Amino acid sequence: MINWIVSRKNLVIVTLATLVTAQPTLNVDTHLQLRETSKQSIQIFYGEKSGYVWSVWTSPQGVAVDPCDYNRFDFVRMSNAERFEGDDKDRYSLTNPPYPPEETWSGAYPPHKKWNCVVKGNGQKGPPVLHCGNEVFDFQKDVQFNDAPIVCGNGYTYHRGWTVEY
């Protein structure tokens, strides 16, 4: 009985010693890549005043842009949203925005300004993509896409469309 207790005690000590001395391996490339990740987002809104428009904004990752607050968020650009022939009117209601058009939208997309980033729309084929140097980031439907449109005091009404975090 005493031998069994001593053996069990030694087994526990050896197991604990192994766990304490084991060092997790660190993938340096992955660590550096995660450390250098910029934590930014680009958010695309579909809007309407006297016609339909697309507006592109940047903000810190995880922060929903308020398109009525020009001072708090970085407005990048606005583009007219033309109706495509053959599309039905419901497709263009603010509560059901279409995919952005097949256009390339350049702008100062921080922090990758030196990479000459561009947003490339895919038209009715799907959401746009962000190209920054050799990196490509896919836009997703905004998590607040199903929320009600945002009515601003300047006469614009906006609906959340597409977002990418990079």
Give the DSSP per-residue string, 69-90: -TTTSEEEEEEE-PPPTT--GG
pLDDT of 119: 92
Average model confidence (pLDDT) across the chain: 74
16 domain-assigned: no
* Residue, of 112 and 94, whose pLDDT is higher: 94
pLDDT of 121: 92
Q: What is the pTM of this model?
A: 0.69
Give percent of the chain with pLDDT exceeding 70: 65
pLDDT tens profile 26-66: 343 433 343 355 688 999 999 988 778 888 888 888 999 99
pLDDT of 26: 38
Structurally, how many domains does the chain consist of?
1
30 domain-assigned: no
- Across the range 119-127, mean pLDDT stands at 91
**Dist. CA 123–CA 121, nearest whole Å:** 6
Of the candidates 152, 153, 150, which has an alpha carbon nearest to the alpha carbon of residue 161?
150
Of the candidates 110, 121, 128, which has an alpha carbon nearest to the alpha carbon of residue 59?
110
61 domain-assigned: yes
Q: Which H helix or E strand runs over 12? A: helix 2-21
52 domain-assigned: yes
pLDDT of 113: 64
* Residue, of 77 and 94, whose pLDDT is higher: 94
pLDDT of 81: 65
The range of the structural domain enclosing residue 84 comes to: 38-165
151 domain-assigned: yes
* Residue, of 160 and 117, whose pLDDT is higher: 160
Of the candidates 8, 54, 60, 41, which has an alpha carbon nearest to the alpha carbon of residue 161?
54
24 domain-assigned: no
Tell me the pLDDT band of 67, cut-offs 50, 70 and 90.
very high
pLDDT of 124: 86
pLDDT over threshold 70, residue 145: yes
